[in-house]
Amino acid sequence: MKTSIRFLFAPMGIATALALGAGPAGATCYDIPQAMAGHAGAAAVHVPPNWSTPPAAGTQDPADGRGLAGLWKITFLDSNGNPVGFAYQAFGDGGTDTLLDMNRSPALGDVCIGVWKAQERPRHYKISHYSPIFDTDNVTFLGTVNWVSEMVLSPDGRTSQENIAFTGYDVNGNILFQADGVATGARVTVNTPVFP
């Protein structure tokens, strides 16, 4: 049931897409903006200027560059390569991860959880994330969004590219919507500045 629903995602997030015909209105920890698909009229997102800048060569901790584990700055992109969202994502050695959405207020839910696993190909990782869907009252639980992606690290382990497939399910396991996304990442080290 993969449709052009990704073109319906408005700046206010999944609530609008679902209200426009994909199911009941709702929201989740990361709003999938219609800009993800390069749709006109999407609100601009101000991403800090150094957000996508990887750590300088030689400034990495010894563990950096040898796997996915660690902290990353993630930038979500539309189909034209323009940033439409950003987040911090922490990958633990044990195969779990936590994403902090920098575009959402904590009152609306800005944290998602997930798991990751190294794939057979070097520098390739599969990630599965889980986010709740709430009604517009931000109280009534409607279902879950599952993001499944493949993240590929650069040879030096300082940057990443990611293709994401989003699937929203109601509480009975029925598919509410499906959408695609793209993201890039830059590893964070103890020397990474917050702002330039």
DSSP secondary structure string for all residues of 30-47: S---GGGGT-TTPPP---
Residue 25 domain boundaries: 4-39+67-188
Reported pTM = 0.76
pLDDT tens for the chain, 196 residues long, are: 433 223 223 223 444 344 434 444 445 555 554 334 444 445 557 777 777 777 666 555 444 446 899 999 999 887 777 888 899 999 999 999 999 988 877 777 788 899 999 999 999 999 999 988 888 887 888 999 999 999 999 998 899 999 999 899 999 999 998 888 899 999 998 888 776 5
Our count of domains for the chain comes to 1
How would DSSP label each residue in 113-170?
Answer: EEEEEE-SSTTEEEEEEEEEEE-TTS-SEEEEEEEEEEEEE-TTSSEEEEEEEEEEEE
Residue 58 domain-assigned?
A: no
Residue 52 domain-assigned?
A: no
Residue 135 domain-assigned?
A: yes
Residue 131 domain-assigned?
A: yes
Residue 89 domain-assigned?
A: yes
Residue 146 domain-assigned?
A: yes
The span from the CA of 109 to the CA of 89, in Å, is 15
